[in-house]
Amino acid sequence: MSDALRLLGRPLAESLLMIVASTLIATLVGGALGVLLFALSNDRFAGKHRAALIAKRLADRAINMLRSFPYIILMVLVLPLSRFIVGTSLGTAAAIVPLSIAAIPFLARIVESALSEIDSGLIDAAVSCAASKTRIIFAILIPEALPALVSGLTLTMISLLGYSAMAGVIGGGGLGDLAIRYGYQRFRGDVMAVAVITIIVLVELIQFAGSHIARRIRASR
Amino acid sequence: MFHAERPQPAAVHSPLAHASTTISHRESSIAPARAPSDQRSNPKRLSPSDAKPALRLDGISKAFGGHEVLRDVSLKVVAGSIHGIIGKSGAGKTTLIRIAGLLESPDSGSVLYEGVGAPPLGPRDVPGAQNPLERQDVRGLHSLRGRELLEARRQAGFVFQSFNLFASRSAAENVAFPLEAAGWPRAEIQARVAELLAVVGLADKAERPAARLSGGEKQRVALARALANRPSILFSDEATSALDPETTRAVLDLIRSLRDRYGLTVVMVTHQMEVVRRICDSVSFIAGGSIVEEGAVAEVFANPLSDEAKAFLREDRHE
Q: What residues does each domain of chain A span?
A: 2-219
- B88-102: pLDDT as tens digits: 888 899 999 999 999
CB A156 within 8 A of CB A106: yes
Q: Give the Cα separation of B212 and A101 in Å (integer).
A: 41
A 10 A CB-CB count for B206 gives 17
Whole-number pLDDT of residue B202: 95
Q: Do B178 and A132 touch (CB under 8 A)?
A: no
**Under DSSP, is residue B107 helix (H, G, I), strand (E, B) or coil?**
coil
Q: Which residue has the higher pLDDT, A168 or B77?
A: B77
* Amino acid (1-letter code) at residue B43: P
Q: Do A132 and B160 touch (CB under 8 A)?
A: no
pTM: 0.82
Tally of domains within chain B: 1
In a domain, B256, yes or no: yes
What residues of chain B lie within 8 A of the CB of A130, using their CB?
A: 150-151, 153-154, 178, 181-182, 229
* Angle, helix A92-116 to helix A50-68, in steps of 10 degrees: 130
Q: Give the Cα separation of B74 and B67 in Å (integer).
A: 19
* Amino acid (1-letter code) at residue B279: I
Q: Do A121 and B157 touch (CB under 8 A)?
A: no
Q: What is the CATH number of the domain that holds B261?
A: 3.40.50.300
Whole-number pLDDT of residue B137: 52
Q: Do B165 and A121 touch (CB under 8 A)?
A: no
Question: Can you list the positions of beta strands (E) in chain A?
Answer: none
Whole-number pLDDT of residue B319: 63
Indicate the DSSP class of residue B49.
G
Nearest chain B residue to A140 by CA distance is B166
Q: Nearest Cα to B167, choosing from B222, B237, B123? A: B222
* Angle, helix B186-199 to helix B171-181, in steps of 10 degrees: 130
**Under DSSP, is residue B115 helix (H, G, I), strand (E, B) or coil?**
coil
Considering only the beta carbons, identify the residue of B160, B168, B177 that sits closest to A121: B160
Nearest chain B residue to A144 by CA distance is B168
The domain in which residue B65 lies consists of 51-118+151-165+215-318
Whole-number pLDDT of residue B174: 97
**Under DSSP, is residue B302 helix (H, G, I), strand (E, B) or coil?**
helix
Whole-number pLDDT of residue B116: 65
Whole-number pLDDT of residue A36: 94
Percent above pLDDT 70 for chain B: 76
Query: Confidence class of residue B133 from pLDDT cuts 50, 70 and 90?
Result: low
Whole-number pLDDT of residue B41: 40
Whole-number pLDDT of residue B142: 82
Q: Do A144 and B225 touch (CB under 8 A)?
A: no
* pLDDT over threshold 60, residue B33: no
In a domain, B86, yes or no: yes
Q: Do B178 and A131 touch (CB under 8 A)?
A: yes
The mean pLDDT value for B130-152 works out to: 72
Nearest chain A residue to B150 by CA distance is A130
Whole-number pLDDT of residue A147: 95
CA–CA distances in Å: residue A156 to residues A149, A164, B230:
10, 12, 45
Q: Do A130 and B151 touch (CB under 8 A)?
A: yes
What averages of pLDDT result for each successive group of 10 residues across chain A (221 residues)? 81 94 96 95 84 91 92 91 90 93 95 96 96 95 96 95 89 90 89 93 96 94 88
Distance from CA of A113 to the nearest CA of B (A): 18
The residues in A 115-144 lying below 8 A from B, measured between CB atoms, are 119, 121-122, 124-132, 135, 139-140, 143-144
- B211-258: pLDDT as tens digits: 999 999 999 999 999 999 999 999 999 999 999 999 999 999 999 999
Whole-number pLDDT of residue A3: 80
Whole-number pLDDT of residue B21: 32
Nearest chain A residue to B101 by CA distance is A128
Query: Confidence class of residue B53 from pLDDT cuts 50, 70 and 90?
Result: confident
Whole-number pLDDT of residue A1: 57
Q: Do A139 and B182 touch (CB under 8 A)?
A: no
Whole-number pLDDT of residue B135: 53
Q: Give the Cα separation of B165 and A54 in Å (integer).
A: 34
Query: Confidence class of residue B10 from pLDDT cuts 50, 70 and 90?
Result: very low
Q: Into which CATH architecture does domain A2-219 fall?
A: Orthogonal Bundle (1.10)
User: DSSP string covering A119-163, please?
Assistant: -HHHHHHHHHTT--HHHIIIIIIHHHHHHHHHHHHHHHHHHHHHH
Whole-number pLDDT of residue B131: 55
Q: Give the Cα separation of A95 and A74 in Å (integer).
A: 11
Query: Confidence class of residue B34 from pLDDT cuts 50, 70 and 90?
Result: very low
Whole-number pLDDT of residue B17: 38
Distance from CA of B282 to the nearest CA of A (A): 24
Q: Nearest Cα to B85, choosing from B257, B237, B226? A: B237
CA B288 to chain centre: 20
Q: Give the Cα separation of A81 and B265 in Å (integer).
A: 62
Output the CA angle A212-A216-A219, nearest 5 degrees. 135
Whole-number pLDDT of residue B208: 95
In a domain, B251, yes or no: yes
Whole-number pLDDT of residue B74: 93
* pLDDT over threshold 80, residue B108: yes
**Under DSSP, is residue B90 helix (H, G, I), strand (E, B) or coil?**
coil
